[in-house]
A = this chain, B = another copy of it.
């Protein structure tokens, strides 16, 4: 590709700024500069990008409320979003959609903060929330009959402390990129293009540590992501259900605040019992290497399980969940500090982090995956002492699209 954000912005006649951005070559993958940030991820394909794509270092997750009264407005916005997403993920500036029924007069030029930046492996993954089908008892867009059987409502789980303003949404877009500014820029353009049709409901930024070749650590200091999904065709991609979800996947997002101050005051041995793995190596308890099999049947001389019955890795393991697996795609988040009065001894009060995990998982059917898994985990996982779910939602992410189509097109067919 020879066009870059800067070049196209210039070519489009940026209101008197004829100068072209420099550094154009940065957007092109180069053998001599193999940084991941210079690469772009394909937008079109059988599946949406950003699900099986190797995880980028930053995310910006956005949930939108639909305000459009008309089905045609929703369709026009999805067309606009599709065009914009194809450009943004290629490292190009967003452009007026041109044609169609969307009101292009409301669209101004790209906001510009990504002008000199490469694609940074940006992916944009779109999902439909329950409110697309029925909202407050109303079938606003004539889609009620298209709701998949697998797309049930998320129940309330044990311990949930959901914040209304950080929960739900009619549409989701997960932006992932190797540069936080590229991810922010992408959501910002989509939000502007949605003007009059949808508005932001909640957002969550997240990060992972820089690439080192090691499994990244979460804020609890443990490697997170050692266990990956074994068979995406079975566990990730929806096979049954309506045609518009073929090749798609169901996304569950959970904003999980972790009581880091409490966790930090546990000794490492206790932390390792809680997780079921060694902290430094990541090896399962009783084993030596990170990727060793979990010795779920092993016991000590007193007959106690080496990996405790309520350890996180045991209760999350496929073998204790009727074989269910999910594809995890989480990021740490850090939303500052706030005053907290702890509910556990010694009942400390003070400023504590609003930080933890933006848990994101994908699955072929939440009825056999996240919902039963987490229903059990919410009751017995030792991690619950430290983790509080405060937000999130569930979204049906349709299959990938081909050039000329728009995201979710089959839903409206």
Binding site for B on A (CB under 8 A): 6, 9-10, 14-17, 19-23, 26, 37, 60, 108-118, 120, 178-182, 184, 188, 192, 199-205, 207-210, 212-214, 217-222, 260-261, 263-269, 272, 278-281, 283, 288, 332, 334-337, 350-351, 353, 355
Contacts and interface: CB of A to CB of B under 8 A. Distances in A.
A341 to B, nearest CB: 14
Contacts of A23: 212-214
Contact of A281 (B17, B207, B217, B335): B17
B9 A280 contact: yes
Contacts of A15: 267-269, 272
What 7 A-B pairs come out closest when comparing CB atoms? A112-B221, A19-B281, A181-B209, A15-B268, A116-B214, A17-B280, A200-B351
7 contacts: A15-B269, A21-B214, A23-B214, A108-B264, A179-B209, A181-B217, A204-B336
Contacts of A113: 209, 217-221
A261 to B, nearest CB: 8
Contacts of A19: 278, 280-281, 283, 288
Contacts of A280: 6, 9-10, 14, 17, 19-21, 112, 115
A264 B184 contact: no
Given A17-B272, A210-B117, A210-B120, A334 B6 contact: no
B184 A22 contact: no
Contacts of A288: 19
A109 B20 CA distance: 52
Nearest to A22: B214
A173 to B, nearest CB: 13
Contacts of A353: 188
Contacts of A355: 184
Contacts of A337: 200, 202-203
Given A113-B219, A181-B209, A335 B332 contact: no
A334 B214 contact: no
A335 B148 CA distance: 34
Given A120-B210, A205-B336, A115 B221 contact: yes
Contacts of A60: 334
B268 A14 contact: yes
B212 A118 contact: yes
B203 A180 contact: no
A162 to B, nearest CB: 16
Contacts of A17: 268, 272, 278-281
B180 A269 contact: no
Contact of A212 (B20, B117, B201): B117
Given A112-B279, A181-B217, 6 more contacts: A26-B213, A112-B217, A113-B221, A179-B209, A184-B219, A335-B336
Nearest to A62: B337
A209 B221 contact: no
